[in-house]
Amino acid sequence: MDEMTLLREFRSDAPAAAPPEVRERVLGSRRTSRRPALRLALAAVLAVTGGGVAATVFQPAAPSAAAVLGRVAATVAAAPDLTPRPDQWVYERDLFLDAVTGKPGTHPGESWSRFDGERVADRMPSGRVNVQGVEYWPLGTPQQWYDMVVALPDDPADVLDHLAADPLYTSTGDTRADRDFDEVTQALTAETYLPPAGRASLFRALATIPGVGIDEHAAPDLVGRPVLSVTFTGDTDLGRAGDHWELLLDPASYDVLGLRGTAGSDIDLGEGTVKHAGEVWYEVAVLDHRVVDHAGDLH
């Protein structure tokens, strides 16, 4: 079961009944096996004081999503392109938040997904790379996600319609904006290689979704890296009504660095862990993501 599926099962109507896999993921338990996955915060609050003297300080207007994501799209569209072979693998190394301590987990997870979907692999606690066949990909193979993104139209509205109609992933968010944010985020965090033109189309479409914002001064990610945060608050498949989500990008390359979720209301995660409204309850940091020739390869 993949992380996004686990999160979708963790709904506000039955938090105490969340499956053990959800609590283990959120509470930072070490993974010993892994199924094919799609990846898939609190916005920084700026306080201004003036040496004990009351003063009115005018902050610059927040940057518009259209302007920033337009710049993002133009940058990623110019990146070198490649077409992975069916027998190549998508390698990903990532680290999850330990919700009990509020700190990064102790061990990053390493995984490999063969592009054609025939096999997956992950690194066991012993260091051995465990390779296994795959009979069923609940949210599509890396090749299927690549093919879907290649086929995206140019117009942002058409991109959103295309994602909504595609069978790989169908959001059950409350509003069209919730569902559109889900669909675009799922594509951008898919464990696959996305062609530059397709990534650019996704970012341009993201800019048109009502409620999407930009935080250029967001808190660093789970491992302390500076981020450009694409923000959204709503009732999405990723969490519950009112939760605040951030798609975290590298400020220079605009590579996806992770995903962060902040509670809109108190969440009982079980096992004695309660995250209060305004606290980060989910975060993953993507430490490496690349196409390699064999399971176990790092470069």
CA dihedral 248, 252, 253, 254 (to 10 degrees): 30
In this prediction, residue 198 carries a pLDDT of 96
Judge contact between 45 and 231, C-beta under 8 A: no
Residue type, 274: V
| Cα gap 191→274, rounded to integer Å | 30
In this prediction, residue 272 carries a pLDDT of 81
In this prediction, residue 62 carries a pLDDT of 63
In this prediction, residue 37 carries a pLDDT of 38
In this prediction, residue 50 carries a pLDDT of 41
| Cα gap 93→296, rounded to integer Å | 12
Q: Which residue in 282, 284, 286 sits closest to 264, CA to CA?
A: 282
- Angle formed at CA 27 by CA 26 and CA 29, multiple of 5 degrees: 105
Q: DSSP letters along 75-106, please?
A: HHHTS------TT-EEEEEEEEEETTTTEE-S
Both structure tokens of 244: 């605040």
| Cα gap 18→98, rounded to integer Å | 17
Which residues fall within 8 angstroms of residue 232, CB to CB, at 6 or more apart? Answer: 177, 181, 209, 211, 212, 213, 244, 245, 247
| Cα gap 135→147, rounded to integer Å | 20
- The residue whose two tokens read 């965090």 is 189
In this prediction, residue 42 carries a pLDDT of 27
Helix (H, G, I), strand (E, B) or coil at 251: coil
Show pLDDT as tens, one digit a residue, over the chain (299 residues): 344 444 444 444 434 434 444 445 555 544 433 333 333 332 332 233 344 434 444 445 567 899 999 999 999 999 999 999 999 999 999 999 998 888 899 889 999 999 999 999 999 999 999 999 998 898 899 999 999 999 999 999 999 999 999 999 999 999 999 999 999 999 999 989 999 999 999 999 999 999 999 999 999 999 999 999 999 999 888 788 899 999 999 999 999 999 999 999 998 888 788 899 999 999 999 999 999 999 999 99
Q: pTM (2 decimals)? A: 0.82
Helix (H, G, I), strand (E, B) or coil at 246: strand
Both structure tokens of 278: 């305004």
- Angle formed at CA 190 by CA 186 and CA 192, multiple of 5 degrees: 155
In this prediction, residue 218 carries a pLDDT of 97
Residue 268 forms beta bridges with which residues?
274
Q: DSSP letters along 191-242, please?
A: SS---HHHHHHHHHHHTTSTT-EEETTPPP-TTS---EEEEEES--TTS-TT
Phi-psi category of residue 242: left, alpha or beta, with phi > 0 → left and psi -120 to 50 → alpha: left
In this prediction, residue 25 carries a pLDDT of 53
